[in-house]
Structure formats: C-alpha cells, structure tokens
Structure 1
Amino acid sequence: MLLQWNKYAQRLGEKGFKIMESLLLINDPVLNGTSISIELPNEGSKLDFEKELHGLLGHLKGHLHNHDITIDIIVNEAYESKRSYNDQDRYNRLLEINPNIELLRTTFGLDLHT
C-alpha cells in the first residue's frame, strides 16, 4: 500500500502538484484492515487533501485490487513532522527516489558531510 501511495505522490509531483505531493508524504499513512489513516497538521491541509481524495482512492483501489479501501483524515494541530531532515536522511530519501544518486556521488567524489 505504501509503495502505491508514494508512486501516486511522485506522479502528482511530476505533474506540478507539489503541495499535494508534500501532503501525501508528510508522514506515512497507517493501514488498519482496509482503512488508511493519514495525519495532517491543520484544517487547510485537510481541505487540500480532500480535493485529491477521489483520485488517490481510485489509484489505490485499482492498483491494490481492493475496492473496500477507505481513507480517514486526522487533523492534529499539535502535529510535528515525523520525518527527519538531516543530510543523511535527505540523501536516503533521494536514493529511494533515484538509485543513480549513488553513482553520481561516487563518480564526482561528493561527500555528505560539509
């Protein structure tokens, strides 16, 4: 489920929908049976997310072959991003997206610690 979630987010990002991509990637959704829960930091984020909800559900239902999937949006005003943002974490995230980053790093002798 998480793989298809991230693929959908990446596809939105490639189409220029960066805000929606960041909302999808703000934290990992939690799967409980056929219900997916996502925690967002405020009501504005929830409204933006709901605009793309139909497309996301269609993508997940089709690719996961499960038409019982539902998405619950939880607004947590006290939410703090669960993703770390140090250099190693950024590098690992980029490496997930494009494994050729490692080739680039070794070819040019780039160092993560500046």
Structure 2
Amino acid sequence: MPELEVKPTEIVSSLKQESIGLSTGDNKVSAFSLSSIKAKRELEAQQKSMVKETVQYPTEPFNETDMLLQWNKFAQKLEDKGQMILHSLMMINDPKLEGATIVHELPNEGTRIEFERLQNELLGYLRGMLHNHDVSIQLHVNESMESKRAFTPQDKFNRLNQLNPNLELLRKTFDLDI
C-alpha cells in the first residue's frame, strides 16, 4: 500500500477552504488572513461603485399664508390629541417665513427644549403639506418676549387694525362699536 504524503501547504489551503469567513467566488477565505483584507476591500469597492438612485424631492414655492394655515392645522391636531402644552407653544405667536426657513420665537429655554421634541413631526407634516422639502425651522429664545394674544374685544380690534388699517375706516363708516 502506498503512503500518502501530505504537505503543510496543502493542509493550510484545505483549512482555508473549510474555514468560515468571506467568500470570494467559490473559495472561502479565513477572516484572519491577508486575503480576507483584500476581499473586504474589493467588496467595499464594489459597493461604492454601485450608483445610488437620487430622489428629487419637491420644492414648490409657498408663501407665509400657506405656511401659517398648515402651522395652525397642525396645532389644531395637537389640541385634538390633548397635547395642550405643545399646542400652546405653537400658538404662542405667529412664526415668520424667511425664504424656506420658518423662524419661531419662544419665551425661554425650557419651552425651546419642549418644542424640539415636536420639531421632527412638525417638519415632516409641513414638508408634505407645502410640497417643499427645503423647509426648516429655526428657533429663537427671547426672554423678554411678551404675549401677543388679544383677550378683550378692544385688544382684538387693535390687533386687527394693525394688520389692516382699513378696518378703522370700516368702523367709522358704519358707526360700529368695538
């Protein structure tokens, strides 16, 4: 009977084929070998060369009135859900529009932190409803901010009169009381 002579290189190559690791073609490569590093680099190069499909999100123009309408609708949804604190943070004053950035002023740092919990959900809603994915929200903290809410009929009239001075002419023309 002939003796089988086994060389050490044959043992190593057979172990490499049986080991668990990265597969390159039909052969398996040990995770602890130099060829595994080469295989990893080749795999990374293949993944980088794959072209990712770029998605073009809509960027339709919108004005401040459209933004305020959607802002108020979202605030109303919060109120309907019973999230009164977040609703009041949104309604504390009217946000201003600067390009595609909504600037909202809050009275203190605590309210800013509370508002930031809501910010991602609000951004998703506004981007969808305004059909513009460039929309962003910028928060300003103004410690000296005073409430711009009108509670009495006189306050409400004065606020509306600031927005539209023709209201005073209408009041005088028809001799209306406030």
TM-score normalised over the length of structure 1: 0.76
Q: Given the alignment of the two structures, is residue 47 of structure 1 paired with residue 117 of structure 2, yes or no?
A: no
Q: Given the alignment of the two structures, is residue 9 of structure 1 paired with residue 58 of structure 2, yes or no?
A: no
Tell me the residue number matched to 1:66. Answer: 132
Paired letter, 2:111: S
Larger Rg: 2
Deviant stretches of 4+, over 4 Å: none
Q: CA RMSD in A?
A: 1.3
Tell me the residue number matched to 1:104. Answer: none
Post-superposition offset of 1:86? 1.1
Q: 2 CA distance for matches of 1:87 and 1:20?
A: 26
Q: Any residues of structure 2 matched to 1:1-114 within 5 Å, and which?
A: 1-87=67-153, 89=156
Higher relative contact order (CA 8 A, sep 6+): 1
Q: 2 CA distance for matches of 1:24 and 1:87?
A: 23
Unaligned runs of 5+ in 1: 90-112
Query: How many aligned residue pairs are there?
Result: 90
Tell me the residue number matched to 1:92. Answer: none
User: What secondary structure sits across from 1:45 in the alignment?
Assistant: helix
Percent identity among equivalent residues? Answer: 54
TM-score normalised over the length of structure 2: 0.49
User: What secondary structure sits across from 1:73 in the alignment?
Assistant: strand
Post-superposition offset of 1:87? 4.1
Paired letter, 1:54: N
